[in-house]
Amino acid sequence: MTSGSPIELGEVGPSTSEGPDDALILAASWEERCLGVPQRLRDYAAQKVIITVYDGPSALRKKHIAILGDVLKSKGEVHQVPALHSYPIESVRKTVDLVRSTVRDRPPRITIDMSTFTKKHLLQLLQGLDLAGMLGDCRFLYTEPQDYHTADDEPIAQGISSVKAIETFAGYNTPSRDSLLVLFLGYEGRRALALWEHLEPNITLAVIPDPPYKPEWFERTETQNHYLLSCLRKDQVYKTHSLIPHDSEQFLDDLILNPELGSHRYNYRIAPLGTKSQTLGIYRFWRRHRGHVTMMYARPFRYREENATFPFGRTWLIDQSKTWGN
């Protein structure tokens, strides 16, 4: 599956015939799609089921946590791990410690449901597991929503409270070089625009997820980011697959070696505002090029629970880390 197509899963079974997983890791959310993988589990078991619970009041999240508890209690030993939207590193440490307590020095077998982690948290979780030697045998699942609210360019997150480098993802910066921003775009046009205006890069490259999850969503990203894209030349706009991480990884590999736009000429910044699969591809790139780029994140002022009105859609097997190269 290094570069193959994702696999739709009507049911989520064991990751291997060798026995239960060591850990199932997922995030509770006010979005109903946090229930997608758990409700599709069949003949599945894990030593530990680790549910990330974000801060902030949410009646829908509380409701979904109760459902998750009922569904997952028969799948393994359930642990709820609190997480701050603003600083998820402590949650990552607790998650790594829980997995380590299960396997000790043995490499673990892990299933990660990426669906409702924030992209910042997902990147830090991947890095935390990776640095602990626990990312060698992970499978990555993703459940899409049946649709998104896109009437006002802010379907999920509203406003921007800060724009800064993601902790532990800062790269080298040479003062004499210009800056180049690689902006992976999604449906949050205002958030992307605010980040772009705040950073004021010398060069901006936009990356659009194509094809989208569904044919009827064709050109929706372009519509949501119309003004920003109108400020760029056509040769500054690229596309990578919405569901194939290797496609985004390969794009970045090629880009940093580009004679005119490579990392030997610019201070690179990457902003992961696209799909979760693209974000996974960005991490696959980062782990082989640590320090070459800085990951930027625009933290929203708030998440709009009132727009979480869509049921969960299809679940995909996106990737398996044992197919990754070094």
**Cis status, amide bond into 211, omega within 30 of 0:** yes
The answer to whether 317 and 111 have CB atoms below 8 angstroms apart is no
- CATH fold for domain 7-148+308-321: Rossmann fold (3.40.50)
**Distance (Å, rounded) from C-alpha 272 to C-alpha 244?**
15
Burial (Cβ within 10 Å: 0-12, 13-18, ≥19) of residue 167: middle
Topology agreement, domain 7-148+308-321 and domain 157-303: yes
Three-state DSSP class for 113? strand
Q: Please report, for the chain, the start and end positions of each structural domain, with discontinuous segments joined by +.
A: 7-148+308-321, 157-303
Domain 157-303 coded CATH 2.60.40 = no
- The pTM of the full predicted model, rounded to 2 decimals, is 0.93
Residue type present at position 253: D
In order along its 326 residues, the chain shows pLDDT tens digits of: 445 789 999 999 999 998 999 999 999 999 999 999 999 999 999 999 999 999 988 999 999 999 999 999 999 999 999 999 999 999 999 999 999 999 988 999 999 999 999 999 999 999 999 999 999 999 999 999 886 654 544 555 555 667 899 999 999 999 999 999 999 999 888 889 989 999 999 999 999 999 887 778 778 899 999 999 999 999 999 999 999 999 999 999 999 999 999 999 999 999 999 999 999 999 999 999 998 999 999 876 555 565 556 789 999 999 999 999 76
Give the list of residues 6+ apart from residue 130 with CB closer than 8 angstroms, or none. 287
Torsion angle defined by CA atoms of residues 266, 270, 271 and 273, in that order, rounded to the nearest 10 degrees:
130
**Distance (Å, rounded) from C-alpha 13 to C-alpha 83?**
28
